[in-house]
Amino acid sequence: MKTTLSVIKADIGGYVGHSESHPDIIAAAAECLKKAKKDGLLIDCQATKCGDDLQLIMTHALGAGNYDIHKLAWDTFVTGTRLAKKMKLYGAGQDLLADAFAGNVRGMGPGLAEVEFEERTSEPILIFMADKTSAGAWNMPLYKMFADPFNTIGLVIAANMHNGYTFEVHDVKEHKKIRFNAPEEIYDMLVLIGAPSHFAVKAVYHRDTGETAAVSSTERLSLIAGKYVGKDDPVCIVRSQGIFPAVGEVLEPFAAPILVEGWMRGSHMGPLMPVALGDSTPSRFDGPPRVVCLGFQLNDGKLLGPRDMFADKSFDMAREQANEMADMMRRHGPFEPHRLPLEEMEYTTMPQVMAKLEGRFQPLDAKGNGRYHKLVKKT
């Protein structure tokens, strides 16, 4: 029997501000999922959080994109929103961009990662959840896990990994996708995935078997809504061990924090700090961005876990480094590269400011003074 793991998430209200989820909302969501499990729709489920995002972790036998599973997730978010409104939590219902469910949560605000597979003799799964950052934040970690031998020594010395992995890359602006084989096409691939606001790694496949190794959420809220409504706060599922990188190889990219898009008002670059679940409470300047990793052993679809993978002491240094990077970035205030470049600010107030100022711009000088002249070489 094939098992499907669906992780579907939405920010349906923050406590306090955008810093955390209220336990009553998580409890209400857990009740909704528990009922669906009792009714036989789900094999197993857990409701959890990352910062102000409600995370639904569900296993079932219905495949990815299933109507009933997506409706369950949507209805759970609607129930949570009702409670969030009653409690006057901040931004209640923020990520539910549609008025009613239309068959699939994709494109309606929530983020999702779903993967269907035949469970192996033992199936270790790692679920990454981020807050205060964008879809595309997984590009570098996934590249390191599945294509960088300096991170994943298994690529070099494990015979069942040596032929590499295939990356499915989505152009989130033009709605196109392309596949690259690693290692031989990594240079072409890096041209694209090095621009995570435009290209996002959607999935990774083991080349010898075609098995799905990783799936991530690539929904960009601002592109769906046409304005800034909150950050994507993406999730990512990674299968581990055997033909896939070991647990430690999957976690290793997060030991060296990188700068990602997000943080305050979704308009800044800041370090992605790996934290234990209890520390996913972005407070300083509404951040810095967080990543949590929950580990599970699947047992006939049942979720044995979670283990809070970044609670480990060996990530203390990464957290310290991330705090130092946060200080360094904050020093720039409203200046790039802390603030996002102009083209990424088009979903904020920037277009209105530019429209207001338009009539006030003057050519530098009609005579050309102040312009740059091409140097003509005398021959």
> Using CB under 5 A as the criterion, which residues of the chain lie in contact with Mg ion when the complex forms?
11, 14, 18, 51-53, 91, 131, 233
Tokens found for residue 112: 């999702």
> Cβ atoms within 10 A of the Cβ of 283, count?
13
Per-residue contact track with ligand F6R, 71 to 110, x per CB under 6 A?
Answer: --------------------x-------------------
> Cβ atoms within 10 A of the Cβ of 26, count?
17
Residue of 69, 215, 221, 264 that binds ligand F6R (CB under 6 A): 264
Residue 202 touching ligand F6R (CB under 6 A): no
Residue 232 touching ligand F6R (CB under 6 A): no
Stretch that binds ligand F6R, among 57-65, 119-127, 175-183, 263-271 (CB under 6 A): 263-271
Q: Is 11 in the active site? A: yes
Give the amino acid at 3. Answer: T
17 binds, among Mg ion, ligand F6R, none (CB under 5 to 8 A by kind): ligand F6R
Q: CA dihedral in degrees (267, 174, 52, 253; nearest 10)?
A: -80
Active-site residue, from 11, 53, 95, 232: 11
Q: Is there a contact between 161 and 154 (Cβ–Cβ < 8 Å)?
A: yes
Stretch that binds ligand F6R, among 138-146, 173-181, 264-272, 335-343 (CB under 6 A): 264-272
Segment 176 to 195, residues that bind ligand F6R, using CB under 6 A: none
Sequence-ordered list of residues with C-beta below 8 angstroms from that of 19, at least 6 positions apart, any chain: 51, 52, 281, 282, 283, 286
**Residue carrying structure tokens 């409670």:** 83
Tokens found for residue 210: 């075609």
Between 91 and 183, whose beta carbon lies closer to ligand F6R? 91
Q: Is 372 in the active site? A: no
Residue 13 touching ligand F6R (CB under 6 A): no
Residue of 144, 170, 220, 265 that binds ligand F6R (CB under 6 A): 265
Half-sphere exposure of 274 (CA within 13 A, CB side): 27
Q: Is there a contact between 45 and 76 (Cβ–Cβ < 8 Å)?
A: no
CA-to-CA separations, 365 to 101, 170, 370, 371, in angstroms, rounded: 56, 44, 7, 8
Q: Is 173 in the active site? A: no
106 binds, among Mg ion, ligand F6R, none (CB under 5 to 8 A by kind): none
Stretch that binds ligand F6R, among 62-70, 161-169, 262-270, 272-280 (CB under 6 A): 262-270
Between 168 and 233, whose beta carbon lies closer to ligand F6R? 233
Alpha-helical regions (H) of the chain: 23-38, 67-86, 139-147, 154-157, 186-193, 221-225, 247-251, 316-330, 350-357
CA distance 83 to 243: 44
Active-site residue, from 24, 171, 228, 279: 228
Residue 220 touching ligand F6R (CB under 6 A): no
Q: Is there a contact between 189 and 142 (Cβ–Cβ < 8 Å)?
A: no
Interface with ligand F6R (CB under 6 A) = 17-18, 91, 132, 230-231, 264-266, 286
Task: Return the active site residues.
Answer: 11, 228, 231
